[in-house]
Amino acid sequence: MTSKELRQKFLDFFEKKGHIIIPSASLIPENDPTTLFTSAGMQPMMPYLLGAEHPGGNKVADSQKCFRTQDIDEVGDQRHTTFFEMLGNWSFGEYFKREQIQWMSEFLFDELMLDPKRVYVTVYRGNTEINIGKDEESAELWQKTFEERGVDAEIADMAEEDGMSGARIFYYGDKKNWWSRAGVPHDMPLGEPGGPDSEMFWDFGEDLELHERSPYKDQVCHVNCDCGRFSEIGNNVFMQYVKVGTGFEPLSKKNVDFGGGLERMTAATNDLPDIFMIDVFDAAREKLEDISDKKYGENEEETRAFRVILDHIRAAMFLAADGAVPSNKDQGYFTRRLIRRAIRYGHQLGISDSFCGDIVDAFITTYGEAYPDIGTNRDTIVEEEEKFNRTIVEGLKVAHKMFAEKTPIEKSKFHKFMLLHDHTQILKELWKKKRGGEDYSIQKANITQGEIDNAIITGEEGFLLYQSYGFPMEMIIELATEARLFFHRGEFRRELEKHQNLSRSASAGKFKGGLADNSEETTKLHTATHLLLKSLRTVLGDENINQKGSNITAERLRFDFNFPRKLEPDELKKIEEMVNEQIKRDLKVERLEMSYDEAKKMGAIGVFENKYGENVSVYKMGGDPSTPDGRSGQAFSLELCGGPHVEHTGQLGSFKIIKEEASSAGVRRIKGTLGGGKK
């Protein structure tokens, strides 16, 4: 069964159960400043899980695009990906455990034809401290549905180290089978909803010896083991409690939130323990084999490189299509990091020429029908690759020379240390004590202070790789780890902060350019940038266009803005004409003072996403004020800005675009001049 078939089968199944099918939300969350990406199917649903009315009703289903940054370093094994599709069905007070478990059983065993003898489930053990008991209802519902299919389903409550003991349904505690946005019950704030969940696992079987060949071979295998034998294919969350001052109370309206990874479900239906062997990766994997002249699966290290490249390019493609084009900040930083990491692993496969565009094109062919806009911003990935290709070879040479001057930690010690769950915290403690002049030993791994001193990549050394060769911090850490060395992140961040402070000082006018003077010409050109930004948004039909940089001299303006492609000549002509039309209208330029919230309500544009104070200055160009203070009425331009500006746009004379070009990936640049004007 292909992923396309499975996706459609899931949506059709729940549509027949009375659910409304809704489209995927963007990977870039709307109206949620707490997170950079949509990382779970429930994320866009939170307002409705918390009580708001969903426009589609109380029963909905979807396939949601998701991206998880925390999985980047895990990619390379058989089952981790950063991007995935989450199949979901939701009940906002309409049905609960009985219906959900029954329907999920029907879908898994009757629709997907999964063998129930190879499916295991977990349920919530309960917690006496919060006065919530075992989720016996879910356990018994699962037991019934297994027995209806002729499968004995013993329910067990045991420690992980006790293994399986012939059971099929297992109780686990807060960390495994409790869901809330904040995590375990103890971490939940007052008013936060949460509840038990029930996960489903597919067993790839003992014959493959996945456990015996994993780093966990010395531990007892169980359904939550990370060895790869068991794959979680779905999780039913039963949101039925709310945290109050005295503990937890039942919610008046109980919700169901199911999420199941499309890729993992597809792997289970095809009995493929390697998720990169399912159909969505076929075309890209074969293209990468052609480019590298290597065969997937023949060599462990090369296969790991294949997986990193396939995952990262696919994720970068989806991120870019949703607007997160490669950059040095926010979501774009992760897109850049994915592309550059993929390029490094391309070098491990012996690929020295550009290849990302070919892999993206293979994925576009695969996903084009389900996601028609998936090719949007494809060229930004190619441009990012071209940029990094100019520095990576020399950067790797410098890194290897730098590392050769260090003394690596002995192999067995280093591996033992890296397996410790708290190794990052141990290093932080090490460096903290080192600054205090104390000798320190990492007892658990038996690594001495002297060994650490000889194996450290300093922050200054790391910053050289970052600034001169474009290596993201995470890539430097990865390279150091492969060489059995440590990287001083704290020192690196201090070096980066020093660099940023210098840059901020420069942009404040301490070098020629910017708006370093308030002369008549620079004031005019600065005013013109407001008209230019509004004209760009209007002509290009994109209200998400914002200023990304500006440099103004007495002779010309230079204006950077986010946009994925080169502007056409007729577009530039229309933009220029619109600016000149507003100059000809001789619009009044007014400065208004108001609260930041009031400015947002008016629709004022805040460039650079600055941190504004309680009161702000808003410059308004044009419009007929309908209130005495001039705070309403339709304006051509409305921007938060510190000034200075002319009093009337007629003072600008005429505007001429002299050049349009690329500034960086996903950012375009316009240079323009002014001529004449009223005094």
Domain boundaries, the chain: 3-276, 278-390, 410-510, 520-675
β-bridge partners, 504: none
Residue type, 418: M
Please provide the average confidence, as pLDDT, over all residues in the chain. 87
Strands 169-172 and 119-124: what pairing? parallel
Residue 483's alpha-carbon distances to 306, 344, 452, 457, in angstroms, are 21, 15, 13, 11
Contacts of 204 (CB under 8 A, 6+ apart): 210, 228, 229, 230, 231, 271, 273
Quote the percentage of the chain above a pLDDT of 70.
88
Q: What residue spans of 349-410 are helical by DSSP H?
A: 356-367, 378-389, 392-404
pLDDT of residue 643: 64
d(CA 378, CA 325): 9
Contacts of residues 533-537 at CB distance under 8 Å and 24 or more positions apart, as own/partner, are 533/559, 533/561, 533/605, 533/607, 533/637, 533/639, 534/636, 534/637, 535/575, 535/578, 535/579, 535/582, 536/561, 536/563, 536/575
Mean pLDDT of the 351-378 span:
96
Lowest mean pLDDT among 198-202, 248-252, 345-349: 248-252
CA 670, CA 101: separation in Å to the nearest integer? 58
Q: Is it the case that residue 37 has pLDDT exceeding 80?
A: yes
Domain 520-675: homologous superfamily in CATH: Threonyl-trna Synthetase; Chain A, domain 2 (3.30.980.10)
The C-alpha atoms of residue 105 and residue 12 are separated, in whole angstroms, by 16
**What number is the average pLDDT over the span 137-148?**
98
Q: Report pLDDT for 421.
A: 47
- Strand ranges, E, within 413-541: 456-457, 486-487
How high is the pLDDT of residue 249? 93
Q: Residues 469, 472, 478, 481: is their CA dihedral positive or negative? A: positive
Q: Are strands 486-487 and 456-457 parallel, antiparallel or unpaired?
A: parallel
pLDDT at 130: 93
| Rounded distance between C-alpha atoms, residue 88 and residue 90, angstroms | 7
Q: According to the model, what pLDDT value does residue 440 have?
A: 41
What was the pLDDT predicted at 450? 83
User: Between the CA of residue 629 and those of 153, 603, 606, 649, what are the distances in Å?
Assistant: 73, 17, 21, 21
Q: What is the pLDDT of residue 512?
A: 34
- Measure the CA–CA gap between 195 and 153, rounded to whole angstroms: 24
Backbone angles phi, psi at 298, to 5 degrees: -85, -30
CATH architecture of the domain with residue range 3-276: 2-Layer Sandwich (3.30)
Strands 637-640 and 605-606: parallel
pLDDT band at 34 (very low <50, low <70, confident <90, very high): low
What pLDDT does residue 597 have?
74
Characterize 513-537 residue by residue with b for buried, 16 or more Cβ atoms within 10 angstroms of its Cβ, and e for exposed.
Answer: ebbbeeeebbbbbbbbbbbbbbbbb
The pLDDT, as a whole number, for residue 591 is: 83
Helices (DSSP H) in 83-173: which residue ranges? Answer: 97-105, 136-148
Among 7-21, 447-461, 529-543, which is the least confidently predicted range? 447-461
According to the model, what pLDDT value does residue 237 have?
97
Query: In which band, very low, low, confident or very high, does the pLDDT at 363 lie, cut at 50, 70 and 90?
Result: very high
Dihedral angle over CA of 457, 354, 324, 538, nearest 10: 140
User: Percent of the chain beyond pLDDT 90?
Assistant: 59
Residue 555 has a pLDDT of: 82
Structure letter (DSSP) for residue 112: S
Lowest mean pLDDT among 57-61, 80-84, 450-454: 450-454
Encoded tokens for 518 = 């308030």
Closest of 96, 87, 82, 47 to residue 64, by C-alpha? 87
pLDDT (mean) for 323-337: 90
Whether the predicted pLDDT of 624 surpasses 60: no
pLDDT in tens, 412-470: 888 777 766 455 555 555 545 544 434 444 555 577 878 888 999 998 898 888 877 88
pLDDT range class, residue 577, cuts 50, 70, 90: very high
Confidence of residue 96 (pLDDT cuts 50, 70, 90): very high
- The predicted model gives 307-319 an average pLDDT of 98
Over residues 235-288, the pLDDT tens digits come to 999 999 999 988 999 988 899 999 999 999 999 999 999 999 999 999 999 999
**Structure-token pair, residue 494:** 């201090």
Q: Is the pLDDT of residue 177 over 80?
A: yes
